[in-house]
Chains A and B, each alone.
Chain A
Amino acid sequence: DAKTTQPTSMDCAEGRAANLPCNHSTISGNEYVYWYRQIHSQGPQYIIHGLKNNETNEMASLIITEDRKSSTLILPHATLRDTAVYYCIVSFLSGSARQLTFGSGTQLTVLP
């Protein structure tokens, strides 16, 4: 299964775009890139996922490089409530299962 590398922490000013990078250089062709976030004491919250095309939803945008070895999660207008640990995950198949292997994530702190 492919591993991901993320910065340990990042700060972002409120109202500005937060760009969270992720490296997944060993990703294989059928593995998706997922992003989740976890606010203290809560269960992980799904944000977005993609295979190779860029994706956008009401929460964020996901930009995947053409070689799929890295991606960036973009929160277009960060708010204080976006302060959380953000996990970039490459989803692999284990037998018939699709599992999420969580790393250490990036602690994003949105500053007023």
Chain B
Amino acid sequence: GAGVSQSPSNKVTEKGKDVELRCDPISGHTALYWYRQSLGQGLEFLIYFQGNSAPDKSGLPSDRFSAERTGGSVSTLTIQRTQQEDSAVYLCASSLAGGVRGNTIYFGEGSWLTVV
């Protein structure tokens, strides 16, 4: 597609349920990022994938959060046993590479998650 695509755009789930959020990066982009943004807050880095390298998971807030990237393209962010504090917009971004050349990083429109 022309841009980073995320689904679902909105998700309401009950506390304790698991959720999966999907990201389709821009075609050809090898680097993929997940961020989250709570209401009125700045963006918080979660995880980064670059090609076949081991992902940088340093931003994941707890072991309830995990992410996969299959075939070097689509990524899924999974939140297990959701809590109300997980309510946020989850943003995916991609770029050509994560190296030193200052490649532009493009964001999707986000998946709005509400845990009730």
Contact = CB atoms under 8 A, between A and B. Distances in A.
Interface of A: 30, 32, 34, 36, 42-46, 49, 51, 87, 91, 93-105
Chain B CB count within 10 A is highest, among A42, A87, A98, for A98
Nearest to B33: A99
A98 B100 contact: yes
Contacts of B45: 99-101
Contacts of B95: 98
A46 B50 contact: no
A44 B50 CA distance: 21
A43 B33 CA distance: 13
A30 B100 CA distance: 7
A68 to B, nearest CB: 14
Interface string B50-72: 10010010100000000000000
Interface string B77-106: 000000000000001010100111011111
Contacts, number: 65
Given A101-B45, A104-B42, A94 B56 contact: yes
Contacts of B98: 96-98
Nearest to B59: A99
Contact of B107 (A45, A101, A104): A45
Chain A CB count within 10 A is highest, among B56, B93, B98, B104, for B98
13 contacts: A34-B105, A43-B109, A46-B104, A49-B104, A87-B42, A93-B100, A96-B56, A97-B98, A98-B99, A99-B33, A100-B33, A100-B45, A102-B35
